[in-house]
């Protein structure tokens, strides 16, 4: 087995490093996926009566509620057996890859619904590991073909990369 290394300089353009095809969620039913797979919702506008959908978690994450407004007691989202309704959504709830989230509404009264996303950390100076620059990174050379997708995750789960931080990517 040969080990190949390429060097990249991280440019933080947003808080999210989600490569094409690497969505956090998929749905079955009227729910929709937004933000390139980072979020799911009941759809645009008020949700309808008697809606049912299931959301599959594709990558383990913690849920972040963008908006949540359902009919109390009767229209609810279920995450790992816990029901969420009214204006209290599953904020800061961890979910694992392969788990299922379900949505259901009853036959009367609708509301604006929900948008829930995978939680990502905002870059901060204190969250980055220290990297002492030793020399300029070489021009990347590697076994890829253009175009390619690359997902870079920080070794510390609750940290993010900083602009200008060197990252080593290894192909095995």
**What pLDDT, on the 0 to 100 scale, is given for residue 151?**
58
Condensed to tens digits (0 to 9), the pLDDT of residues 64-94 reads 999 999 999 999 999 999 999 999 999 999 9
Between 115 and 23, the more confident residue is 115
Banded model confidence at residue 172, pLDDT cuts 50, 70, 90: very low
**What pLDDT, on the 0 to 100 scale, is given for residue 115?**
96
pTM here? 0.59
**What pLDDT, on the 0 to 100 scale, is given for residue 123?**
38
CB 62 within 8 A of CB 48: no
CB 170 within 8 A of CB 3: yes
CA distances in angstroms from 57 to 102, 125, 137, listed in the order given:
11, 30, 36
CB 92 within 8 A of CB 62: yes
Condensed to tens digits (0 to 9), the pLDDT of residues 91-105 reads 999 999 999 999 999
Contacts with 102 (C-beta within 8 Å, 6 or more apart), sequence order: 52, 53, 54, 55, 77, 78
Condensed to tens digits (0 to 9), the pLDDT of residues 120-146 reads 654 344 444 444 444 444 444 444 444
Check whether 10 has a pLDDT greater than 70: no
**What pLDDT, on the 0 to 100 scale, is given for residue 18?**
43
**What pLDDT, on the 0 to 100 scale, is given for residue 36?**
84
CB 111 within 8 A of CB 76: no
Banded model confidence at residue 119, pLDDT cuts 50, 70, 90: confident
**What pLDDT, on the 0 to 100 scale, is given for residue 167?**
54
Report the SS3 class of residue 161. coil
- What b/e readout covers 22-55, taking b as 16+ CB neighbours within 10 angstroms? ebbbebeeebebebebbbbbbbeeebeeebebeb
Check whether 45 has a pLDDT greater than 60: yes
Residue linked to tokens 């253009």 = 146
Alpha carbon 94 to chain centroid, angstroms: 12
């Amino acid at each position: 087995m040969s080990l190949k290394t390429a060097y990249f300089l991280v440019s933080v353009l947003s808080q999210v490093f989600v490569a094409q095809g690497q969505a956090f969620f998929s749905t079955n039913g009227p729910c929709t996926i937004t933000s390139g797979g980072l979020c799911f919702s009941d759809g645009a506008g008020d949700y309808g009566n008697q809606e049912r959908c299931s959301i599959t978690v594709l990558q383990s994450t913690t849920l972040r509620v963008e908006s949540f407004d359902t009919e109390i007691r009767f229209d609810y989202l279920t995450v790992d057996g816990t029901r969420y309704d009214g204006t209290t959504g599953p904020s800061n709830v961890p979910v694992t890859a392969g788990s299922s989230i379900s949505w259901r509404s009853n036959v009367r009264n609708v509301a604006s619904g929900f948008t829930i996303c995978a939680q990502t950390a905002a870059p901060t100076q204190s969250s980055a590991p220290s990297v002492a620059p030793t020399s300029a990174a070489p021009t990347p050379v590697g076994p890829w073909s253009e175009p390619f997708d690359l997902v870079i995750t920080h070794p510390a789960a609750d940290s993010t990369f900083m602009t200008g931080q060197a990252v080593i990517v290894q192909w095995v």
